Structure 1
Amino acid sequence: MHTIDWIILSITLLFIVFYGAWKTRGSKNVKDFIKGGNETNWWTIGLSVMATQASAITFLSTPGQAFHSGMGFVQFYFGLPIAMVVICMVFIPIYHKLNVYTAYEYLETRFDKKTRTLTAILFLIQRGLAAGITIFAPAIILSAVLGWDLITLNVVIGLLVIVYTVSGGTKAVSVTQKQQMGVIFSGMFIAFYLILQYLPDDITFTKALEIAGASDKMNVLDFSLDLDNRYTVWTGILGGTFLMLSYFGTDQSQVQRYLSGKSAKESQLGLIFNGLLKVPMQFFILLVGVMVFVFYQFNSAPLNFNPKAQEVVLNSKYASDYKALETQHKDIESQKKAILFQGLNSSNTELLQELNERDKVLKKEAKVLISKADNSVETNDKDYVFIQFILNYLPKGLVGLLLAVILSAAMSSTASELNALASTTTIDLYKRNVASSHSDAYYVNVSKFFTLAWGILAIAVACIANLFDNLIQLVNIIGSIFYGNVLGIFLLAFFFKKIKGNTVFTSALITQVLIFFIFYFGIYNLEQQGLKPVISYLWLNFIGCISVLYLALLFTFKQLDVKNKITLLFISLGIF
């Protein structure tokens, strides 16, 4: 990195930190600190909701996902607009009517304290882990750039977020996320424009799409019914809808964003705004990754984008074998470039696809050699594709800007998570179960303490984290293990008035054990053995939700009215 890159990166990040701390200094009561004084307008809510979900992992992993697998990942978000409409119609009116600070307060008014506490704990577990990952992701980037150790970077990034989140609470998060989203959108559009400029003169955007399509990178829609296929239209609409309903409707890191709205209408408009922009935004980020793929059809690409992996294998006894693979890889690159300059037709498109398949085989063999050289080194390089392009090809100044994009996303998402973790711990656990009669100033200080504590814990999680296939998938896997169960609890609260707290509590415990069992034996254990998983992890959202509904209805069958018995019958038919 050059001096100008350091200046741009430092000014951007420090401005966000100090602006957020200064703008929201002096929050004296719980309403200001946790709900931002209910002063947030709809477009700020929309940007804040979007920024909370769009962590550094989104801008680090998603282009790499598209580079390797194409545009199909966008199907994961197909359920989001549906979820936004449902939340606006059902969740928001209830939350605003009850004037709650957290989503889980409602569960006590509907069921009992232990159900509220259990649901809050499930949220704290999964979101606490996810917060560590959102810190770890950008630490990987700077580790590759600067050669610093990951632990130091995890601590530095975590402390930057803690400074303004402890200082200003929810309002600080919302205020800074507007600036962060501005940096993010500017940086990504500039990167996209430059990628197109770097393509050969006769390769227009239309031709670039044709090249990507010939390499199977533009297959956006997959209507197959294969349950172990992670990304299809059906997993996106069904599994994705349940995941998004739970995430945006019951996850405090998102609920807290729109609970700060001036009114229920402002909150609803903010979520609709997010629903309209989120899928196009993800499509665009994936398209950036596809254009990076096209760029590397005309420029030399490493056999593995992880610089640490390359370094390890080239300094091992497998160096000659690896170099032989690199030679074959470069030969394939030359052949593909020649085909593309000739122009695509049916015969050379088939040859291009054959060369791509041969290159995939070489990359798999390279990963085997890397593992033999050092099995502790991550062979999966999806998360390194975009950052390597940024570092090697973008001009001075823009490298700093793109790094600021990724770090801004990390800070915004982590700040929301720490803010929500602290609020839930303070309101749902500490105030409700430990100390219920103190002043507002006391609970503000307690919330600041828990923000600091969760920040330290997130840093600790980041320090022991390892890449697992792909970071963005890891976050979604963690969410899928818990979200379906939590969503089911809320649906029971909203729509099944005769179900009582003891029944819900028991059903939720059984469901969570069941989901852990399915994930470990039906997905994780099989993948570790190199076998196909029984189902995609996205289906855990649907299974968890249906399971808690089914068990709760089954346990109270005698007390159910005809409508609920029919509901139970339909769920039973769907299961069996």
Structure 2
Amino acid sequence: MTNLPILDIAIIIAYLIAMVLVGVYFSGRNTSADEFTRAAGRIPGWAVGISIYATFLSSNTFLGVPGKAFGGNWNAFVFSLSMPLAAWFATKYFVPFYRSTGEVSAYTNLEKRFGPWARTYVVVCFLSTQLARIGSVFFGISLTLQALTGYSMVTIMVVTGICIIVYTVMGGIEAVIWTEVVQGLLKTLGAVIIIYLVVNQVMGGFDGILTIGAAANKFSLGTIEFDFVRSSFWVVLLYGFFINLNNFGMDQNYIQRYHAATSTREANKSVWLCVWIYVPVSLLFFSIGACLYAYYMQNPELLRTIKLQAASEQLGLAINKPEVAQLATMMKPSDYADKVMPHFMVHMIPTGLLGLIVSAILSAAMSTISSGMNASATVFTEDIYKRYVNTRSTEKNNLKILYIATVIVGLIGMLCGIAMIGVKSLLDVWWTLSGIFAGGMLGLFLLGLMSKNTTNKDALTASLIGVLIILWMSFSYLIPDQYNYLRYPLHANMIIVVGTLSIFLTGNLTQKLRRNLTI
């Protein structure tokens, strides 16, 4: 970190060492798989709630959301507004269901309901989703630290990845939860500091920000017309509801925390605590994007530097080349939005505070990655290893497999992050990938939970049809132009909505047809 002052380096190193020491502290308690995966159910609800909030508030939020607001408007904030409805559904149906089953894996019950194929399908979808999420978070953190340190993004991913793997493997879910409590507080403090510093740099303060932002339509939540082709208010609301329903109801990251809580009531409280913290804090990050937009509009010479840097990276040429300058003049704010926050941090945040902000961004990445690693290792052990490889595995061997799986997931996640280098919008990549993988999971689970008369054959038929629809929606853009009428016509964020409903409705339809034919 040669570009950073010694004080900032010391703060960052101290933070990383502290996180590893947390893992060391809790390592002595991991004497069984139950301790590693759910801390024997002894975590208070408030800690679980902050932990879930910290998982939501990843580096994708810390960097992607201000970038999204800078390059566009507050349309994506509608995602956060959908959370209370999803939380109500989750606390009424999902949390009591999981607590009553006693199964640490969210997907074991699907085999009891529909057979081994259902469990395996959802496990594959979950692991694919987690690797995409972990990869996007690795990419986000390396993007910022590259601007601060000058080191390559690959080097940054490897170094941070090793630290995360060490404390996650050593401490298990208890270390993950308690480090996330600290990380949740740190990243919130970091956001408050950033917005304070930006507002102080804008001429006219809040009034200037509101004037510039309103003139550029930065505070719009999107059109309220029932338009499902563009990213309208309704598209993001529906997408947010189904994704958050998937998070609270099907994502092992959260299900595991329900089991770690001391009771069902505490688990429910943790969900609502997460929502009531996350919604206003996410608004804070959108506000940072609007504030940064006002600041750089008032400082066009700094904005030109950012555009030149983005153009240089896109073309792979030196920043002083004429081709770079030509491309920079044609760039829209959305083309360089993810580089705005790192630039402000490098040039405008004072020594000492910069180390704290970098630690906050590191914590945003670490909480999401460590949570995903622990959850993925649990799913692999419970739903793959113990189910298909070693059905008589001992407790000692289960713990060993959990350790190995955690390391492997972390390493593969790093490789996914490296593969994402060069993408244009971090938040768009994550939203697209999560929508593709989550649609089938949620549709099948809702079918099993809410349609009591649906049989194995009904569910299998619905899933096959649903997967075909999801694949068509995701990849029909590859169809040649002369057959463009065969392309999926709606916005990409509608994939999870249509995919979930296609499985759920098809399953109900086939079981009704089957019953009518047998009568």
Normalising by the residue count of structure 1, what TM-score does the alignment of the two structures yield? 0.83
Aligned to 1:168: 171
Deviation (angstroms), 1:452: 0.9
SS of match in other structure, 1:417: helix
- Residue 4 of structure 1: aligned partner: 7
Q: Deviations over 1:69-122 (max 9, x none)?
A: 122220122221110000000011110111110110121222222211211111
Q: Which residue of 2 aligns with 1:50?
A: 53
CA distance in 2, matches of 1:117, 1:460: 24
Residue in 2 that maps onto 1:229: 230
**How far apart in 1 are the matches of 2:181 and 2:297?**
36
* Change in 2 beyond 3 A, CA 1:523/1:481: farther
CA 1:204–1:6 in 2, change beyond 3 Å: closer, same or farther?
same
Give the structure 2 partner of residue 431 of structure 1. 386
Asked if the contact 1:132/1:461 (under 8 Å) is kept, the reply is: yes
CA–CA distance in 2 between the matches of 1:222 and 1:32?
Answer: 48
**CA offset digits 1:375-404 (Å, max 9, x no partner):** xxxx93221111111111111112211111
Residues 180 and 222 (structure 1), Cα distance of their counterparts in 2 relative to 1, 3 Å cut: same
Q: Which region of structure 1 is more displaced relative to structure 2, 264-273 or 16-25?
A: 16-25
Letter aligned with residue 246 of structure 1: N
What do the CA deviations read for 1:508-567 (whole angstroms, capped 9, x no partner)?
Answer: 2331232121111159999xx9xx9722222111111111112222332344489xxxxx
CA contact (8 A) 2:79 2:241 kept: no
Preserved contact between residue 76 and residue 235 of structure 1 (Cα < 8 Å): no
Change (3 A) 1:248 1:306: farther
Matches of 1:504 and 1:314, distance apart in 2: 49
Show the counterpart of 1:347.
Answer: none
- The answer (yes or no) to whether the contact 1:303–1:363 under 8 Å persists in 2 is no
Counterpart in the other structure of 2:286:
286
Give per-residue Cα distances to partners, 1:462-485, cap 9 Å, x unaligned: 222234331122111111002121
In structure 1, C-alpha distance between the alignment counterparts of 2:236 and 2:428, rounded to whole Å: 14
Please give the alpha-carbon distance, in whole angstroms, between the structure 2 residues aligned to 1:435 and 1:9. 42
Q: How does 1:84-103 map to 2 (within 5 A)?
A: 84-103=87-106
Question: Which segments of 5 or more consecutive residues in structure 2 lack a partner in the other structure?
Answer: none
Q: Which amino acid aligns with 2:297?
A: Q
Q: Percent identity?
A: 26
Q: What code does the residue aligned with 1:424 have?
A: V
Contact persistence 1:248–1:254 (CA under 8 A):
yes
Partner of 2:214: 213
* Structure 2 residue aligned with 1:334: none
Q: 1:309 to 1:511 in 2, by over 3 A?
A: same
Aligned residues: 509
**Do 2:243 and 2:496's aligned partners in 1 also have CA atoms closer than 8 Å?**
yes
Residues 1:363 and 2:346 are matched in the alignment: no
CA distance in structure 1 between the partners assigned to 2:479 and 2:363 by the alignment? 32
CA distance in 2, matches of 1:26, 1:95: 24
Answer whether contact 1:79 1:240 (CA < 8 A) is retained.
yes
**Aligned-residue RMSD, C-alpha:** 2.6
The residue type equivalent to 2:233 in the other structure is V
Higher mean displacement: 220-229 or 477-486: 220-229
Partner SS state of residue 492, structure 2: coil
Q: How does 1:107-186 map to 2 (within 5 A)?
A: 107-186=110-189
**Following superposition of structure 1 onto structure 2, how do residues 88-487 of structure 1 map, counting pairs within 5 Å?**
88-200=91-203, 203-230=204-231, 232-299=232-299, 300-303=301-304, 305=306, 308-311=309-312, 319-320=321-322, 323=325, 362-364=330-332, 380-487=335-442
Aligned equivalents of 2:7, 2:73: Cα separation in 1: 34
SS in 1 for 2:217: coil
Deviation at 1:410, TM superposition (A): 0.5
Give the Cα–Cα distance (whole angstroms) in 2 for the partners of residues 149 and 276 of structure 1: 38
Please list, as runs of the form range in 1=range in 2, the aligned pairs for 1:41-80 lying within 5 A after superposition: 41-80=44-83
| Deviations 1:224-277 (CA, angstroms, capped at 9, x unpaired) | 2221222x3312332221111012210112222222111111110010111222
Moved more, 472-481 or 532-541: 532-541
Q: Which amino acid aligns with 1:9?
A: I
1:34-81 CA distances to partner (integer Å, 9 max, x unpaired)? 012111112111111111122111111111111111222201222211
Tell me which structure has the larger Cα radius of gyration.
1
What CA distance in whole angstroms lies between the structure 2 residues aligned with 1:98 and 1:557? 28
Aligned-residue offset at 1:208: 2.2
Q: 1:297 to 1:524 in 2, by over 3 A?
A: farther
How many angstroms does 1:455 deviate by?
1.1
Residues 489 and 504 in structure 1, CA contact (< 8 A), matched pair in contact too:
yes
Q: Residue deviations 1:168-213, cap 9 Å, x none?
A: 211111010011112101111111111122223xx13234212211
In 2, the alpha carbon distance for the partners of 1:468 and 1:486 equals 26
Of the structure 1 ranges 302-311 and 389-398, higher mean CA displacement relative to structure 2 is found in 302-311
Indicate if the aligned counterparts of 1:45 and 1:267 stay in contact, CA closer than 8 A. yes
Report the residue type matching 2:140 in the other structure. A
- SS for the counterpart of 2:344 is helix
Residues 78, 236 of structure 1: 8 Å contact kept: no
Question: Alpha-carbon deviation of 1:308?
Answer: 4.6
Letter of the aligned partner of 1:222 in structure 2? T
Q: How far did 1:325 drift?
A: 8.0
Native 8 Å contact 1:482 1:512 kept in 2: no
Q: Distance in 2 between matches of 1:474 and 1:521?
A: 17
Q: TM-score, normalised by structure 2?
A: 0.92
What's 1:501 paired with?
456
Structure 1: which amino acid aligns with 2:230?
A: N
Distance 1:148 1:314, change over 3 A: closer
Aligned CA distance change for structure 1 residues 247 and 311 (closer, same or farther; 3 Å):
same
Which runs of 5 or more structure 1 residues have no equivalent in the other structure?
Answer: 330-361, 368-378, 563-576
Aligned residues of 2:70 and 2:289 also touching (Cα < 8 A) = yes
Change (3 A) 1:137 1:316: closer
Letter in 2 for 1:73: A
